[in-house]
Structure 1
Amino acid sequence: MTNLIHSSEAVHRLHDPHTVFADVRFVLGEPSAGYAAYERGHIPGAVFFDLNEDLSGPKQEHGGGHPLPHPDLFAEKLGRAGIDSHTQVIVYDDQGGSIASRLWWMLKYAGHERVRLLNDGYSGWLANGYPVTSVSSRPEAKQFVPRWNERLQATISDVKAAMGKADSVLIDSRIHNRYTGEDTSKYLKAGHIPGAINHYWEDGSPDGLFLGAVEQRERFKAIPADCEIIVYCGAGVTACPNVLALTEAGYSHVKLYVGSWSDWISYEENPVATGEE
Structure 2
Amino acid sequence: MDEDVIVSAEWLETHHADPDVVVVDVRDAWEYDGIGHVPGAVNVPFDSFRGGGEEGMLPPKDEWAALLGEHGIDEGTTVVAYDDTHGVFAARFLVTALLYGHDDLHLLDGDYSAWMQGHETSSDAPDVEATTYTVTRPADSPLVTIDEVAAATDEENAVVVDTREPAEYAEGHIPGAVNLDWKEVVDEETRGLKERATVKSIFAGKGVTPEKHVVLYCNTARRISHTFVVLQWLGYDDVSFYEGSLTEWKDADRPLETGSAD
TM over 0.5, yes or no?
yes
Tell me the CA shift for residue 213 of structure 1: 3.0
Q: Equivalent residue for 2:20? A: 18
Deviations 1:32-81 (A, max 9, x none): xx22212212223322223333132269xxx87xx211123212322222
Which residue among 146, 165, 178 is the counterpart of 2:168? 178
Does the 8 A contact of 1:234 with 1:262 survive in 2?
A: no
Structure 1 residues 273 and 139, CA, compared in 2 at 3 Å: closer, same or farther? Answer: farther
Structure 1 residues 168 and 199, CA, compared in 2 at 3 Å: closer, same or farther? Answer: same
Deviations 1:232-252 (A, max 9, x none): 111221111111222222211
**What CA distance in whole angstroms lies between the structure 1 residues aligned with 2:125 and 2:181?**
37
Percent sequence identity over aligned pairs? 28
Larger relative helix fraction: 2
Question: Superposition pairs for residues 174-253 of structure 1, below 5 Å?
Answer: 174-181=164-171, 191-207=172-188, 208-221=191-204, 222-253=207-238
Tell me the CA shift for residue 148 of structure 1: 2.8
Does the 8 A contact of 2:167 with 2:260 survive in 1?
A: no
Q: Equivalent residue for 1:94? A: 84
Structure 2 alignment gaps of length 5 or more: none
Deviations 1:175-229 (A, max 9, x none): 1111011xxxxxxxxx111111001100111322112432222112223422211
TM-score (norm 1): 0.83
Q: Equivalent residue for 1:184? A: none
Structure 1 residues 5 and 233, CA, compared in 2 at 3 Å: closer, same or farther? Answer: same
Structure 1 alignment gaps of length 5 or more: 26-33, 182-190
Query: Matched residue pairs, number?
Result: 254
Tell me the CA shift for residue 147 of structure 1: 3.2
Does the 8 A contact of 1:235 with 1:262 survive in 2?
A: no
Does the 8 A contact of 1:153 with 1:256 survive in 2?
A: yes
Does the 8 A contact of 1:78 with 1:84 survive in 2?
A: yes
Tell me the CA shift for residue 268 of structure 1: 5.5
Which residue among 117, 120, 123 is the counterpart of 1:133? 123
**What CA distance in whole angstroms lies between the structure 2 residues aligned with 1:144 and 1:12?**
28
Amino acid paired to 1:219: I
Which one is further off, 205-214 or 95-104? 205-214
Question: Superposition pairs for residues 1-277 of structure 1, below 5 Å?
Answer: 1-25=3-27, 34-40=28-34, 41-57=36-52, 67-135=57-125, 138-181=128-171, 191-207=172-188, 208-221=191-204, 222-261=207-246, 263-265=248-250, 267=251, 269-276=253-260
Does the 8 A contact of 2:71 with 2:129 survive in 1?
A: yes
Structure 1 residues 242 and 56, CA, compared in 2 at 3 Å: closer, same or farther? Answer: same
Does the 8 A contact of 1:172 with 1:200 survive in 2?
A: yes
TM-score (norm 2): 0.87
